[in-house]
Amino acid sequence: MRNFHRLLTCILFIALVLLLPHPVPALQKMVVADFSSGIDHKGVPSGWKLKERSGRANISIVHEGSFHALRLRSEDTSFCLQKPVVVNPHEYPLFTWKWKVTRIPEGGDFRKRKTDDQAAQLFLAFSNSNIIVYIWDSSAPQGLTDDAWAPPFLTIKAVVVRSGLSDTGKWLTETRNVYEDYRKIFGKEPPQIAGIRIQINSQHTDTSCESFFADMAFEKL
């Protein structure tokens, strides 16, 4: 009988544990965009908002092997796609993406307002109006971090991830430790990431360019 009560107590304990709510483990990766949902009736990827700054946007979704990609083309134009996000860089410090540039704006150089054109730009907007933009520049050296033009109420720092023609035509996977980048650039702890923007432009140099983006996500270490 004593063994029976012990067995019954054990069964009841196991049943209670199974019925209790369990915490859901945090995801290792937060996907921002894989572009698998295609384009909506406005011609924009689902969940994104288009801003045309100069001329008309040229956007499409294409298949690149096993994944979908956003294709942007600029012919003396400037436009961007932006999306609100809620990301804690302390928890998800790594920002990863794939990109490919097939044509760069000739003479582009973000260090001068009159030549500030890039085929590929990725902006991360923090909740305190500080912004880091990762760019593929035509002329500025790879690895350079410098001020980018911004309206008075914003501070934008550009990081040259790729430069020139050497890697064009190839899919490249990038990983940036956004937490460490922010600490290094701004000298303090980063606040929440509130938005992301993809941009292309070639209107300053009166040229053309083309870029592709895919598999954008924030990840844990």
- Residue 10 falls within a domain, yes or no? no
120-135: per-residue pLDDT in tens?
999 999 999 999 999 9
The answer to whether the beta carbons of residues 201 and 52 sit under 8 Å apart is no
Task: Please state the domain count of the chain.
Answer: 1
157-182: per-residue pLDDT in tens?
999 999 999 999 999 999 999 999 99
- Residue 63 falls within a domain, yes or no? yes
- Residue 18 falls within a domain, yes or no? no
Q: Specify the pLDDT at position 49.
A: 96
Quote the CA–CA distance of 52 and 102 in Å, as a whole number: 22
Lowest mean pLDDT among 40-49, 186-195, 198-207: 40-49
Q: Specify the pLDDT at position 25.
A: 53
Q: What's the chain's length in residues? A: 221
- Residue 1 falls within a domain, yes or no? no
Tell me what the mean pLDDT of segment 195-211 comes to: 98
pLDDT higher than threshold 90 for residue 198: yes
pTM recorded for the entire structure? 0.87
- Residue 134 falls within a domain, yes or no? yes
Q: Specify the pLDDT at position 20.
A: 47
State the residue range of the domain holding 34. 28-219
Closest CA to 196 of 217, 179, 173: 217
1-52: per-residue pLDDT in tens?
444 445 444 444 444 444 445 444 568 999 999 999 888 888 899 899 999 9
- Residue 11 falls within a domain, yes or no? no
Q: How far is CA 148 from CA 68, 117, 161, in A?
A: 30, 11, 14
Quote the CA–CA distance of 143 and 25 in Å, as a whole number: 36
Q: Specify the pLDDT at position 52.
A: 96
Q: Specify the pLDDT at position 42.
A: 84
Q: Specify the pLDDT at position 43.
A: 86
Place of tokens 């606040």: 191
Q: Specify the pLDDT at position 39.
A: 87
The answer to whether the beta carbons of residues 207 and 81 sit under 8 Å apart is no
Q: Specify the pLDDT at position 41.
A: 84
Quote the CA–CA distance of 87 and 91 in Å, as a whole number: 8
48-107: per-residue pLDDT in tens?
999 999 999 999 999 998 999 999 999 999 999 999 999 999 999 999 999 999 999 999
Q: Specify the pLDDT at position 169.
A: 97
What is the residue-wise DSSP string for the chain? -HHHHHHHHHHHHHHHHHHS--PPPPPSEEEEE--TT-B-TTSSBTT-EEEEEES--EEEEEEETTEEEEEEEEES-EEEEEEEEEE-TTT--EEEEEEEEEE--TT--TTSGGG--EEEEEEEEETTSEEEEEEEESSSPTT-EEEE---TT-EEEEEEEEESSTTTTS-EEEEEEHHHHHHHHHSS----EEEEEEEEE-TTTT-EEEEEEEEEEEE--
Find the CATH number of the domain harbouring 112.
Answer: 2.60.120.260
- Residue 54 falls within a domain, yes or no? yes
One-letter amino acid at 132 equals: I
- Residue 61 falls within a domain, yes or no? yes
Tell me what the mean pLDDT of segment 190-210 comes to: 98
Q: Specify the pLDDT at position 4.
A: 43
